[in-house]
Chain A
Amino acid sequence: DIQMTQSPSSLSASVGDRVTITCRASQGIRNDLGWYQQKPGKAPKHLIYATSSLQSGVPSRFSGSGSGTEFTLTISSLEPEDFATYYCLQHNSYPRTFGQGTKVEIK
């Protein structure tokens, strides 16, 4: 199975900060990676597909990059509604695997 290691597991940041979350795959997954945002008690929301393509309706302050084994999600300027938990998901091989999540908290 491909292991997805997300870092950090949590972070504290202020509104307006630039935030970067990293996902490392235990083996190459080309660009077969997506990012999801989850708020407490809610279903996850799809943010980015194919490593760097923004899902329709997602604000442009979100961006993704990477390839192979290292991937990043960047929020260029944190907004109050961005405080949530973020997950990466690889869909290069079975079983699909998620990162363990990164909780973004208010500083």
Chain B
Amino acid sequence: AQSVSQHNHHVILSEAASLELGCNYSYGGTVNLFWYVQYPGQHLQLLLKYFSGDPLVKGIKGFEAEFIKSKFSFTLRKPSVQWSDTAEYFCAADSYGNNRLAFGKGNQVVVIP
């Protein structure tokens, strides 16, 4: 079964700092990858996704992610965070192609003004 791991579950940053969240998945075949964000009191929202093609994908709100197949990784980045980026971030993978997602444990990110 596919699994997803995220590290550094709690991250505290100052505004304007750069954010990098790592994600590794276990499945060796074709896999679709996602980063979701959950702002306080809100629902999970899709930040970005990777299916194929350019391994550098851009998402909403200035986020981007890099897929490295050889490392089974999908790293989320934002060059300069804002207080409003305080949220929990989830990496997810789908090897079934039907929205049956395997999620990581999440990264709780707090941005200090």
Q: Are A and B part of the same complex?
A: no
Q: B-contacting residues of A (Cβ < 8 Å)?
A: none
Q: A-contacting residues of B (Cβ < 8 Å)?
A: none
